[in-house]
Chain A
């Protein structure tokens, strides 16, 4: 853990942003999602990023892109999982198409705003309950992204790379 400029405890920075962007770009070739503040300095540098007004639409678009041969990655905050579930289960899971979700785990640190706290608590149990594999970026570093890409697109499965506050230079 480290201390940020506002004297708050946050997780360690894993790699500089340019390196994270490089790893994302070499493992995926199609991006969408709904911005989270942790992605502020990442999204503008992703080639082939597709706007979506909601997380569920991003998931559905990624399903279409996968059918056409892309390797998609959808970026979202953990709260967006609440909107995604039906699309994930009714599209990717039902038709056996892979997807990597890059999810920011908001609300797990004590100082984080109250609106994030429940999602911080329930994100992992939720993913476990619907049998979605998680690759933890804080533990595995960039390997989490490579392993997730390999898992999702070899097996045509949904999986999550979980990023923690501080893992990315905001």
Chain B
């Protein structure tokens, strides 16, 4: 299974959820091939996709938040795993054992957790550009959130 097939599988499993996708190839490939309004494509903030999702979910009433992380990103954000499980958060890590965005440097194995779903993917990447500008991504994502009327009265 390649990265795109894995992401498509996750998207199909959560048709009504908000998505937070980590920076690097995860956001690049998903942004280019799917470009959905319910996706928040991170361009930076390495290791923080799960924490962003936790913050989102802490305010949203009745919407699931799905995180798609790479294993390099997940290693950098490992201490955020201590906040799991959280109802309504679904955490997926695409595992290929390397920092592929920066040239496939090997990385240690991620620990196992019952709250983390690992999907093993093949090495290899699509020739995809950076996702849209941050302001464009945010505008679409916020419009989608508003259309769902899921924001708590804060």
Contact = CB atoms under 8 A, between A and B. Distances in A.
Interface of A: 29-30, 32, 50-54, 56-72, 86-87, 89-91, 94-97
Contacts of B79: 53-54, 57
Central interface residue in B52, B83, B152, by most chain A CB within 10 Å: B52
B66 interface: no
| Majority secondary structure, A binding face | helix
Interface residues of B, number: 35
A67 B141 contact: yes
B154 A63 contact: no
B43 A67 contact: no
B57 to A, nearest CB: 7
18 contacts: A57-B79, A57-B83, A61-B55, A64-B51, A64-B59, A65-B59, A67-B141, A68-B60, A69-B154, A70-B59, A87-B45, A90-B42, A91-B48, A94-B43, A94-B45, A95-B134, A95-B135, A95-B138
A90 B48 CA distance: 10
B35 interface: no
Contacts, number: 114
Contacts of A50: 54-55, 58
Given A53-B83, A95-B134, A96-B138, A71 B154 contact: yes
B77 interface: yes
Contacts of B83: 51-53, 57
Contacts of A87: 45, 48
Contacts of A63: 45, 48, 52, 55
B11 interface: no
Contacts of A64: 20, 51-59
Given A65-B55, A69-B154, A53 B44 contact: no
